[in-house]
Amino acid sequence: MKLLYYIIISTRSIIRVIFLSCQKDSGTIYFVRLNQTWTNLLEGDVLRMISLDNVTLRSLQMIQLELLLEVDRICKKNAIAYNIIAGTLLGAVRHQGYIPWDDDADVAFLREEYERFREACKKDLDRERFYFQDHRNTPGYRWGYGKLRRKETQFIREHQEFMPYEQGVFIDIFPLDQVPDSYPGRMIHNFHCFAIRKILWSEVGKTADRSLVMRGLYGLLSCIPERVVFRHYYHFMREGNRKKTKWVRILTFPTPNKQYGYRKIWYQKSKLYQFEGHSFPGAKDYKEYLTFKFGDYMTLPPAHLRKTHPVSSIKLS
């Protein structure tokens, strides 16, 4: 019965978001926006992607290292707990720095610490060199997590050329929220996360997806007003965080396996790791975390899988 309750609540909440998007607001009917979504749905406007050579990739990594050091500086000054995660922690363990072909870096905070970091950026961020973005301070920003970016640079991922905000070299700043301890509860919670993520992604998906049918579906989803989606997202997040659990996740980012979350203890107990000659905190039990996320993490992938993200524009200061 409890599982059925979760299913009903999640489905009802998602339908409510779609229903609200169709309501009048200041005399505007949002379905009128449909006319704006079909412009490129039938056309395959393809930009030539840039292949990063080793010198450019290394320069990119060094700029991202500046961003990591700025995060670390602010967190130390304000006693904020964070971890390097994912491929960044794997790089620290396996290479004592970047994975040679990696072109991004990730840090994560439990939700309370993430909010403290956002506030600390308002007063302590070196604004001559960096800027912080999330949907609360950047119109048109459609991700449920933040990015710290380097000024006087440009780094535009494939299909994001039309996003209406500045896109410098960045690292991802992820908040981690509570998810149910029970596996059935996490499954239903994951479906809810999936729906929110796809609605937010729709602004990109309506031109990026290879399938004409999916581009049309994303075009419809993109008509849901951003403010309605994020209002629902915050309601969903706050309700989930009412109960303290042993599992957490990034709500608007896929999980690596069918567990639909991560053990909270990996973000509560940390130790320092060497990364490009500097020390950054990461999960103390790195073996358990990296095995959970990557499997046999010490074995290098085959050469054809060592890829960078497609990039349409890059400028490094």
Contact 269, 283 (CB under 8 A): yes
Alpha-helical runs (H) found in 255-297 = 265-268, 286-294
HSE (side-chain half, CA atoms, 13 Å) at 187:
8
Contact 245, 178 (CB under 8 A): yes
Query: How far is residue 244 CA from its own chain's centroid?
Result: 23
DSSP letter string, 242-258 = TS--SEEE-TTS--SST
Q: Classify residue 41 by burial, with Cβ atoms within 10 Å: 0-12, 13-18, 19+.
A: middle
- Per-residue pLDDT tens listing for the chain (317 residues): 444 444 444 445 444 544 444 443 433 333 333 343 334 434 444 556 778 889 999 999 999 999 999 999 999 999 999 999 999 999 999 999 999 999 999 999 999 999 999 999 999 999 999 999 999 999 999 999 999 999 999 999 888 888 899 999 999 999 999 999 999 999 999 999 999 999 999 999 998 888 999 999 999 999 999 999 999 999 999 999 999 999 999 999 999 889 999 999 999 999 999 999 999 999 999 999 999 999 999 999 998 888 888 888 889 97
Going by C-alpha positions, the residue among 83, 143, 89, 151 that lies closest to residue 117 is 83
Antiparallel, parallel or unpaired: β 154-157 and 311-315: antiparallel
Spatial separation of the C-alpha atoms in residues 200 and 17, rounded to whole Å: 12
Computed over its alpha carbons, how large is the radius of gyration of the chain?
20
Q: Which single residue is written with the structure tokens 């010198």?
A: 55
Spatial separation of the C-alpha atoms in residues 201 and 39, rounded to whole Å: 18
**For the chain, domain boundaries:** 2-315
**3-class secondary structure, 282:** strand
Spatial separation of the C-alpha atoms in residues 304 and 10, rounded to whole Å: 40
Spatial separation of the C-alpha atoms in residues 240 and 189, rounded to whole Å: 9
Backbone angles phi, psi at 161, to 5 degrees: -65, -30
Q: What is residue 280's predicted lDDT score, i.e. its pLDDT? A: 98
Angle at 314 between CA 310 and CA 316, to 5 degrees: 135
Compute how many other C-beta atoms are within 10 angstroms of the C-beta atom of residue 212: 11
